[in-house]
Amino acid sequence: MDRLLAQLSQSVEHARTLEDLVRPLLEMLHAVTGLDSTYLTTVDLVAQQQSVLFSRNSGSLEIPEGIRVPWDDTLCRRAIEEGRTQCDDVPARWGDSEAARTLGLQTYVSVPVRAGDGALYGTLCAASAERHVIDADAENVLRLFSRLIGYHLERERLIDELRRANEELAESALADSLTGLPNRRSLERELSRMLARVQRDDRALVVAYIDLDAFKPINDRHGHEAGDRFLVAMARALETALRGGDLVARIGGDEFVVAGTVPRETADAAADVLRQRLEAATRGRFDIGGGAAIDYAGASVGVVLARTGEVDAEAVLARADRAMYACKNARRGARG
């Protein structure tokens, strides 16, 4: 028993996956019970199927991994329903099981494996074509191994939840919570990638900085919730103006950036087309909820092209920002 405990401790300590844990347990279970086959199954109660996940076989009995049988026909279901762990005369007790007859089972032991929430995951089993009587110590070992597998499954579930939570956190850290668009941090990261890519592909990067003129009066007149709805509506409008591969981000309260790559030989014309497309997208009537709408005259849009060899995303953004302010001043002058 001391040797078994030492093996068990080592297996649990070094197990990184379910298979890492179960394979040694099946070996130890064979040594403890003396039965030909030891195996772990999974049970799909929706599909009403039982599958052998991992098995260890010796002697004449062969329980193949991957085999699937109807749950209603299994000895495991019968054992669970009867509250029975072992049977040393399967044909006499469960002779109606086609699977047992096909495999020639004589001795069978089984305990359920349950996940952390108590739901049935599967069963841990041992079987033989010969008749054996399993003592209480072997039954206790079987139950112990079942609990260890259940603990491991719960640990895997928690690790998966933590991984998903971390992924969601990382994604939220790169997204604007109001509009769902990439935020400034995400934009700068992607601009750096785009700058590197255009150098390799001999293309040009065009960046448009967009500021929503007269946004403060919208907030003052209609309230901040309406202002937020206006920003969301503007984000969707900008998305409709994008080509495949373009990027739009919200980088401040009422500031957005659009970036995309264009052929280098027609970059100036493409930049002008982008400016016109964005100016048109930001003009028009925008729904702000509650039956209200805003007739908006459009945003100030500054557009620049990244210089050949330029790799500093912040420098490109700064130039686009200055181009936007030049546009804003020109619009103010035109209004008198």
Active site residues: 254
Q: How far apart are CA 299 and CA 62, in angstroms?
A: 74
Using DSSP's 3-state secondary structure scheme, residue 175 falls into strand
Residue 162, CA distances (Å) to 155, 157, 159 in order: 10, 9, 5
Using DSSP's 3-state secondary structure scheme, residue 48 falls into coil
Residue 258, CA distances (Å) to 132, 181, 236, 271 in order: 74, 11, 13, 11
DSSP alpha helix (H) spans, the chain: 2-14, 18-33, 75-82, 90-93, 98-103, 136-173, 184-201, 215-222, 224-240, 267-281, 313-335
Reference 296, options 175, 211, 213, 194; nearest CA is: 213
Burial 1-19 (b: 16+ CB within 10 A, else e): eeeeeeebeebeeebeebe
CA atoms within 13 A on the CB side of 195: 20
Q: For 84, phi and psi rounded to 5 degrees?
A: -110, 140
Q: How far apart are CA 178 and CA 228, in angstroms?
A: 7
Cβ atoms of 67 and 90 within 8 Å: the answer is no
